[in-house]
Amino acid sequence: MTQKLWNYLWCIDEEVVAASGVRIVWRFHPKSLAVSDVQVDGSFLAAKVDILLFQSKVPDEPLTIPINRLYENHSVTMRLGPVERHPAGFLSIRYDSNALDPNLKAFVVASKPHCDRILQDFTESDSVNVSNFAEGRNNDPLKVSAKFWRMTYFSVVVITTLGFGDIVPMTQASRAWVAVEAMLGTVLTGLMFTRLRRAHALKVAI
């Protein structure tokens, strides 16, 4: 998602600079882009996007944060989706342009149609992944489960009580089964080591 926004805003920056001539313009600083607070909002993935704009005096000014330049920080809520397919087979990132700060709105609106194409250019696999992630977060674990090695990793994390939390059960039934696995897994692990110890002792005695 961050890479998609980076490419999109970089495209806008190039268009604004190309159209500005030698006038003072607001430019997007790509290295400052940060995406946080990603959440499922219906069929969308909503995220807070932090953007920094700075005023440049010449179009080809290097994209570093200049000293003694005016700059603005903006926080914009964008939504990746919807999950259902567009006619062209793409997803898009949407946001309320009317809620943007005037400088940021003018900056974003200056983009050309092909910048929007960059924003929307998701592959079919991207669409499926976003759809499955959204539905998984909305309590349909089958959309993100059923991968053998993924579930093996999860079981190891549960049984060894590491508890990383990167994969979590999302329904009452799955939580109950995970609790059973944690208890039985600990017992079975103990029995396994006991058997190994006895086998080793028997071999030494022989």
* Chain segment 9-49, per-residue pLDDT in tens: 888 888 777 776 656 677 887 777 888 877 776 666 778 88
62: three-class secondary structure by DSSP: coil
Instruction: Give the mean pLDDT of the chain.
Output: 75
pLDDT in tens, 136-193: 666 666 666 667 888 888 888 998 888 888 788 877 888 899 999 999 988 888 888 8
- The structure tokens listed for 21 are 């001539």
pLDDT computed for residue 179 by the predictor:
92
Q: What is the pTM of this model?
A: 0.55
Q: Measured on CA atoms in the order 133, 137, 142, 147, is the torsion positive or negative? A: positive
Phi-psi region of 195 (alpha: psi -120 to 50; beta: other; left: phi over 0): alpha
Provide the H-helix boundaries in 21-147. 102-109, 113-120, 124-137
Burial of 94 (0-12, 13-18, 19+ CB in 10 A): middle
